[in-house]
Amino acid sequence: MPELPEVEVTRRSVASRVQGARILAVRLGKPLRWPLDMAPGALAGQTVTDVGRRGKYLLLHLAPGGVLLVHLGMSGSLGFWREPPAPGPHDHFDLLTTAGVLRLHDPRRFGAVVWSPHADMGMAAKLLGKLGMEPLSADFDPARFHAGLRRRQAPVKQVLLGGDLVVGVGNIYASEALFMAGIRPTVAASRLSRPRADRLHAAIREVLARAVARGGSTLRDFVGVDGNAGHFQLESAVYGRAGQPCRACGAPIRRLIQGQRATYYCPVCQKA
């Protein structure tokens, strides 16, 4: 599933291509996770004024009004062409603009494109209203982060994946950040002291920023708007490395299942 780094990489590419472009038409393919909630023809003539991101949602702000929320789901990706090929069976949304065509490709159809009158209204408010702090912004405050951890008895990795305290720290990045902070993924979030929470806070920011710089992670389907795969997974410290030696101490990396997701950690570097 594309996580925050992959969506941020996509956002930057989309913004460089369609920001300022005028919408000419919209083509819909098979139904996605949620309906567009707007007659496709009504979007013609609108201008894409900005491309933002909230968690794993892209926000295409329109003038004279409204916003398109784009979610890549489990296997989705966006592509851009000045002269696109004919849509295939897994191409479910085309935004035809004066700059070119932005296309959502999604084999599993868990993605979505939804219109809302404002980012704080309608379906946008429902989808975005309960999201946690943005880890790459000034909103990600260490004191608030620690206070949120202290209120949760669940294992710290599960809390990171929940998205209501901090958004976008997906499975790969949670494992990597916990390793960098020296925290075992099974420890209860409420047990973390302020210094340990501060180390985790810094590790989350560093891991996510490095992943964005590497173009995200490509395990199966993700490619950027330019068609290139991400490379962060090639330098992971623990994720996907069960049985291999820890890059720091040499102990074999271990794997366990938490909430039906694989977790990787070093039993020596992450003692508690």
Q: Which of 3, 6, 8, 176 is catalytic?
A: 3
Beta strand 67-71 with 47-54: parallel, antiparallel or unpaired?
unpaired
Q: How many residues does the chain have?
A: 272
Cα distance between residue 180 and residue 199, in whole Å? 8
Q: Which of 11, 17, 56, 157 is catalytic?
A: 56
Q: Which of 27, 210, 247, 261 is catalytic?
A: 261
Beta strand 67-71 with 77-81: parallel, antiparallel or unpaired?
unpaired
Active site residue 126: no
Active site residue 3: yes
- One-letter amino acid of 97: T
Active site residue 254: no
- The phi, psi pair for 195, rounded to 5°, reads -60, -40
Active site residue 2: yes
Q: Which of 2, 5, 135, 185 is catalytic?
A: 2
Buried/exposed 61-100: b ≥16 CB within 10 Å, e otherwise: bbeeebbbbbbbbebbbbbbeeebeeeeeebbbbbbbebb
Cβ atoms of 65 and 117 closer than 8 Å = yes
Cβ atoms of 23 and 96 closer than 8 Å = yes
Cα distance between residue 61 and residue 117, in whole Å? 10
Q: What residues act catalytically?
A: 2-3, 56, 261
